């Protein structure tokens, strides 16, 4: 929960700092690396969550391809319970299961981060009037 909110805040701040540094090459490289690492951290959560869900789908398909309907009824009953459990998505979640961590949510984080960056840039950059 806290990591997602921190990512929403860190991405635009890193990007804003990146746009401010134009003369110092070392500082610019440091800012680029900082921004890339924050993005990589955020994407690693998403990738792990999607990988977990794909593994759950593979278990479901393995159970389905097992010809469970030819087995003894007591064994088939246990496999049906496994079917029901493996049907549900198994992703990492925030806010007590309210928000799934998946590729669409990662894209939303990027969109919100860019919106906050534009807001920071427009609010903090002082207009010059001639």
Is there a domain that residue 111 lies in?
yes
How many domains does the chain contain in total?
A: 1
What residue numbers bound the domain in which 16 lies? 2-124
In-domain check, residue 101: yes
Q: Mind listing the pLDDT tens digit for each residue in 28-46?
A: 777 778 778 888 888 888 8
| Residue in this structure with the two tokens 């393995």, named with its chain if needed | 62
Residue 93 included in any domain? yes
pLDDT, tens digit, for every residue of 86-125?
A: 887 777 776 666 777 888 888 888 888 788 778 877 777 6
* Token pair for 25: 């090459």
Q: Is residue 106 part of a domain?
A: yes
- Looking at residue 103, its pLDDT comes to 86
Is residue 127 over pLDDT 70?
Answer: no
pLDDT of residue 1: 47
Q: Do the domain assignments include residue 69?
A: yes
pLDDT at 53: 86
The answer to the question of residue 72 being in a domain is: yes
Alpha-carbon distance of 73 to 71, in angstroms, equals: 6
Is residue 38 included in any domain, yes or no?
yes
pTM passes above 0.85: no
Q: Could you tell me if residue 130 is inside a domain?
A: no
């Amino acid at each position: 929960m806290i990591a997602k909110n921190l990512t929403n805040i860190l991405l635009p701040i890193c990007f804003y700092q990146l746009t401010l540094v134009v003369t110092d090459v070392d500082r610019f490289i440091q800012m680029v690396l900082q921004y890339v690492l924050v993005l990589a951290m955020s994407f690693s959560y998403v990738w792990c969550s999607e990988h977990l869900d794909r593994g759950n789908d593979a278990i479901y398909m393995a159970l389905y391809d097992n010809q469970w309907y030819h087995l003894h009824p007591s064994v088939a009953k246990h496999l049906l319970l496994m079917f029901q459990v493996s049907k549900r998505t198994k992703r990492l979640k925030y806010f007590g299961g309210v928000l799934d961590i998946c590729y669409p949510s990662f894209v939303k984080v990027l969109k919100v981060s860019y919106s906050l960056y534009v807001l920071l840039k427009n609010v903090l950059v002082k207009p010059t009037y001639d």
